[in-house]
Structure formats: C-alpha cells, structure tokens
C-alpha cells in the first residue's frame, strides 16, 4: 500500500502481539499508513487477518531491532515505498526476571540489546529522515518501571530507566528540527509479556538465596495482571500523543501507575520505599 501525499506514515516495532499489535491497528484505523514490524513474521497471522478484514492501511514488515542490517534495510524499504516516516513507536522489548545477583552478564547484555540498543538502532536510523522532513515524533514505550524500582526485575527496570534518560536528553537536541520525543509509561497491561518473560538460569535453581523473593514476586505479578489494563488503552494514549499539536513529554497509561505515581509525588523517598517493601516483600 503506497502513501498518499498527505497521509502520515507510522512504524511500530514489536507488533506481533500486545501493545505493538493494538497500537499498529489503532494508528491504521485512524488514517496512518502503518508499518507493523516484528522479528518473526510467522507471528503476523492475527494482525494480517484483522487488517485485511477491516481494509486497513497496514503493511507488515520483518524487523529485528537487535540486527543493524535488518533495521537499516527495513527502514530503507519503507522510505522507498512511502517516501517518509512521521511516527516511530519503539515498542519491542521483553522482561528478564531474576534477582540481580543471579543474573548472568550475557543475560543482562541480551536484555539491553533489545530494550535499549534496539531502540537506539531504530531511532538513529529514522532521525535523518525526520530531520529532512523537519517533522516527526518518536514514541518510546517505557514503563512505570522507568520511574521506580521493585524486586525481581532489576535488569528490565534499569533498561526502562535508560529509555527515560535517553528520551529526555535527545528531546532537547531534536526540538530545533521539529521532532518531538514522547515517553509512554504503561502500568500493568494484560499482554503475553509474562509468557515471553525470560527467567535467569540461576533464578531457577532451588538453592538460590533469592528463591522466596522471586516466588513472592511471581504471586504479586499474577494478582496485578488480573487487574491490569487492556493493551488498547496504551494504543489510545499513543494515538493521543501523535495526533496532538503539543504532545506532553510523558504519558502515564493505566490507573495503577497513575495511583502509584501520585503516591510517589506525595511521599518522601523513605515512605515510598517502605510502602513498596510492604507491597512486594511481605
């Protein structure tokens, strides 16, 4: 599907399920020529079926954010077809679960390669295009975990803290070129992210000194998932951001994260830490 001259073009990473899936469909339903990208095209059946049924302006493209060549080739292909990229939604990511001491260095590096360096690869590839256009918006899907820590997912949380700092810093540099940077911070969202969670090898050892903490966290997470928000809530937040003339730098997505951030604002660091200990560790 080729872009019409006034149709905006959006690229979404990690679109085979969850937030990326819903965001791609939401943008396409609202007139964006959308490229729903994913590492494994064998997982494209669902989104392809919906797009065909609804006759949406949506194309599916293979893109592995951990592969320089894949990112470069896919973006070049999109530009050749659509001539522009107006929106980049950096959504691809996964959770590495395990106590910090139990994490192997290779496991941490792999987590960063997707969640941080993957975002860097796609963004650096798209920025020259947006600069030439003198317009564009980068939407980085962070997490409530980019605003405060909790036990059991230190590697994942640190990647989201990195995304927050990276986004804030680059926003100053890109503003003069007409490019906006937005961070979306979902709370607990009912997706298959738990099924896709990678558990550190040492954390699976019954002799791990952190076993009880990890088991407790698993129970807490299961309970939170039951009350989590649907992924289309995040998609609507993204749509709001990319269609706003003056988007906010940060958007919370979900009542749970709104409540927690309100608590964090009203409490001292010590009070907030004590509350988190009570919620997650006891």
CB atoms within 10 A of CB 240: 14
Residue 13 · residue 89 · CB < 8 Å: yes
Residue 56: Cβ-neighbour burial (10 angstroms; 0-12, 13-18, 19+): buried
Q: Which of 35, 94, 150, 156 is catalytic?
A: 156
Which candidate, 207, 211, 212, 256, places its Cα nearest to that of 234? Answer: 256
The whole-angstrom separation of Cα 170 and Cα 77 is 25
Among this protein's residues, is 156 annotated catalytic? yes
Residue 208 · residue 102 · CB < 8 Å: yes
Which candidate, 177, 73, 89, places its Cα nearest to that of 134? Answer: 177
218 to 50, 154, 171, 187, 194: CA distances (angstroms) = 33, 14, 36, 16, 10
Question: Rounded to a whole number, what is the distance in angstroms from the first to the last CA of the chain?
Answer: 54
Question: What residues are labeled active site?
Answer: 156
């Amino acid at each position: 599907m080729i872009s019409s001259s006034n149709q905006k073009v959006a690229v979404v990473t990690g679109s085979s399920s969850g937030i990326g899936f819903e965001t791609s469909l939401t943008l396409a339903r609202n007139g964006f020529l959308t490229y729903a990208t994913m590492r494994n095209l064998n997982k494209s059946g669902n989104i392809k079926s919906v797009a065909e049924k609804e006759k949406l302006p949506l194309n599916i493209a293979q893109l592995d954010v951990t592969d320089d060549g894949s990112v470069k080739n896919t973006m070049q292909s999109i530009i050749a077809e659509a001539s522009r990229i107006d929106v980049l939604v950096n959504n691809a990511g996964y959770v590495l679960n395990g106590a910090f001491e139990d994490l192997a260095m290779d496991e941490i590096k792999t987590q960063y390669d997707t969640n941080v360096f993957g975002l860097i690869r796609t963004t650096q590839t798209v920025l020259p295009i947006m600069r030439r256009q003198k317009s564009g918006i980068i939407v980085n899907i962070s997490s409530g975990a980019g605003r405060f820590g909790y036990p059991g997912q230190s590697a994942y949380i640190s990647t989201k803290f990195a995304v927050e700092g990276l986004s804030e810093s680059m926003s100053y540099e890109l503003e003069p070129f007409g490019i906006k940077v937005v961070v979306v911070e979902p709370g607990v969202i009912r997706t298959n992210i738990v099924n896709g969670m990678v558990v550190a090898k040492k954390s699976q050892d019954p002799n791990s000194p952190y076993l009880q903490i990890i088991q407790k966290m698993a129970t807490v997470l299961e309970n939170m998932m039951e009350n989590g928000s649907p992924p289309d809530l995040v998609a609507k937040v993204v749509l709001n951001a990319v269609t706003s003339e003056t988007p906010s730098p940060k958007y919370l997505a979900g009542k749970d994260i709104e409540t927690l951030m309100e608590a964090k604002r009203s409490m001292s660091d010590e009070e907030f830490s004590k509350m988190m200990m009570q919620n997650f560790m006891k």
